Amino acid sequence: MPKAPKNALPVTREQNYPEWYQQVIKAADMAEASPVRGCMVIKPWGYGLWENIQKALDAKFKATGHVNAYFPLFIPMSFLEKEAEHVEGFAKECAVVTHHRLEPKPDGSGLRPAGELEEPLIVRPTSETIIGSMYAKWVQSYRDLPILINQWANVVRWEMRTRLFLRTAEFLWQEGHTAHATEAEALEETRKMLDVYADFAENWMAMPVIKGEKTADERFPGAVSTLCIEAMMQDRKALQAGTSHYLGQNFSKAQEIEFQNAEGEQEYAYTTSWGVSTRLIGGLIMTHADDDGMVLPPKLAPSQVVILPIYRSDEERAEVLDYVKSLAEELRQQRYGDEPIRVEIDDRDLRGGEKKWQWVKKGVPIRLEIGPKDIAKNAVFRGIRDTGETAGVSRDECVATIHGTLDAIQSRMFAKALAFQEQNTKTMTDLDEFKSFFKGDDDSSTVGGFVIAHFIEGCPVMEKILKDLKVTPRCVPLDFEDEPGQCLFSGEPTNKRAIFAKAY
C-alpha cells in the first residue's frame, strides 16, 4: 500500500508513546472513556476482539477439563476479612455497596441512598473468597475433588490512574478457581494454566511471552506462589499479561474447604486461581500497532478480510456488488483455524480513500479493493496490513492463497515481536550499565528493555536502586537453571536470576 504522505495517526510512537496508545484505540474505534470515573466503554470492534479471545481461551479451558459457572457479583465485607493478606491487598480499591434503594430527599431536590445494609457488600475485585465459601459446602470427600471451575465476569478495582484496557476501574476477565486433594496436583494445575496462557499469547495473539515466577513482593495477595507471563511492549516496558496462582492451603483454611482424604483423615484442600483480562487487548495494541493504527493478528481479528467495492455509478455498483458478494461467499467457504474465514464487505457511502484508511487504522489483516477494472481482469487489489504491501492479484490466486496469506501474517507478526523482544533483552553484570539503561523519560519509547541479572530476593540495596529507577523484578523465568554468580546490586553470591524491567 503506498504510504500516505504522513502517518494515519496524529502522533507517532517515537513522539509520544502514551498519547500514541490512546490514538490507536480511538482510530480503531475500540473503546472510549465513559462518564463513570475509570470505567470504559468497549466498542464493537474492541468487543469483537474480546469475543474472539474468549472463544479461543474458553475452548482451551474446556479441553483441559474445566467447566464454567457463575458466582455473585457481591462479596460480604466479612468474607474479604478472613484472609489477612488478601484483604490488605484489595481494601484500598473496593467499590462498596451500602444501600439497597433510593428515596427522595426531604427537600425534594432529587434522590439519596436509603435502606442501609446491615453488612456492606464489596463489588468483587476477584472471587477467591466467595467461590471458596461455596467450595467449602461442596467438598466433603476426596471424591468431590478436583473442582475445576472457570468464571467469565466483570470485576472492579478502584484504580486512581486509569488507562483504557490496561488499567480500568471495571474490567472483564476470566478467573479459574480450582481445588485439589494434593499439593502436587494443585501445583500441576497452576503450571498447566500458565502454559495455556503462554500458548494463547504466542499462538493466537502473536505476542511472545516469558513464563516465570513472581518474587514475594509481586505475588497475588494471599498466594504461596504466583506464576506469570510477561510480554515486552514497543516502549520496551513489561506487561504482565496473565497470572496463575498456587494458593496452597491459605484460602482453604480461611474458608474451611475441608475434605476427608482416602485415609479417612480431615485435610484442607489445595487451591489455585488464574486469570487474564481485557488488559490483553492493551497488550495486543502495544505489541503490534504501528503509526498507522492497529495491526491485528488474523486468528483474533473480528474481520480477517475486508472487501471494499469501488464504483462511480449505480450501474457499476450493481456489477461490483454482485462480484464482491460472490467472492466473499467463496472466501467464507474456506476455514481458518476451526471457523469459516471472517469476511466483511464495506459498502458504506464514504469516499474510497477515507474508507480504506479506516480499515488500515482498525488493523484488518487483508484488504481487497475491487472496481470495474479489476473485475474486467478478474483480479483484486490486495493490501496486507502488517507489511503495508499492496498488489494486484488474480481472483483465483487470492482465493487459493487466502489461508496461506493469513498464516504468513500471523507468523510474521510473532517473529517480528519476538525479534524486538530479543533485541531489547540484555544480560548484565555491571550495575552502572543497568542504571544508565533504565535512566530517562519514563514515557519514552527508546529507554530500557528487559535485563537479565543475578539477584537476591529482598536485598535492600536492590530495593532502593529499583525504586529510584522505577524498575521491578518481573519474574524468575521458569526455564532459567540455577547458575552461580553475584547479585548485580549487592555483589553477594547467588544462583538466582530474574528479568528486570519497567512495567505497566
In the complex, the residues that contact a second copy under the rule CB under 8 A are: 32, 34-36, 39-44, 47-48, 50-51, 67-81, 87, 91-103, 110-113, 115, 120-123, 130, 133-134, 143, 149, 153-154, 156, 158, 170, 172, 349
Which residue lies nearer to a second copy by CB, 44 or 460?
A: 44
In the complex, minimum distance from the CB of residue 72 to a second copy, in angstroms, rounded to a whole number: 4
Which residue lies nearer to a second copy by CB, 36 or 318?
A: 36
In the complex, minimum distance from the CB of residue 6 to a second copy, in angstroms, rounded to a whole number: 26
Measured between alpha carbons, how far is 258 from 138 in angstroms, rounded to an integer? 10
Is the bond into 146 cis (omega within 30 degrees of 0)? Answer: yes
> What Rg do the C-alpha atoms of the chain give, in angstroms?
26
In degrees, to the nearest 5, what angle opens at C-alpha 279 toward C-alphas 366 and 29?
A: 45
C-alpha 135: how far from its chain's center?
Answer: 28
C-alpha 235: how far from its chain's center?
Answer: 17
In the complex, minimum distance from the CB of residue 272 to a second copy, in angstroms, rounded to a whole number: 17
CB 284 within 8 A of CB 164: no
DSSP per position, 164-180: TTTB-SEEEEEEEEEEE
Which residue lies nearer to a second copy by CB, 193 or 210?
A: 193
Among 243, 296, 247, residue whose Cα is nearest residue 269: 247
List 116's β-bridge partners, or say none: 99
Which residue lies nearer to a second copy by CB, 37 or 373?
A: 37
At 95, is the secondary structure helix, strand, or coil? coil
Which residue lies nearer to a second copy by CB, 82 or 416?
A: 82
Instruction: Enumerate residues 6+ apart whose C-beta is below 8 A from 47.
Output: none
List 293's β-bridge partners, or say none: 290
Which residue lies nearer to a second copy by CB, 62 or 373?
A: 62
In the complex, minimum distance from the CB of residue 185 to a second copy, in angstroms, rounded to a whole number: 17
List 163's β-bridge partners, or say none: 167
Which residue lies nearer to a second copy by CB, 44 or 440?
A: 44
In the complex, minimum distance from the CB of residue 104 to a second copy, in angstroms, rounded to a whole number: 9
In the complex, minimum distance from the CB of residue 470 to a second copy, in angstroms, rounded to a whole number: 24
In the complex, minimum distance from the CB of residue 172 to a second copy, in angstroms, rounded to a whole number: 7
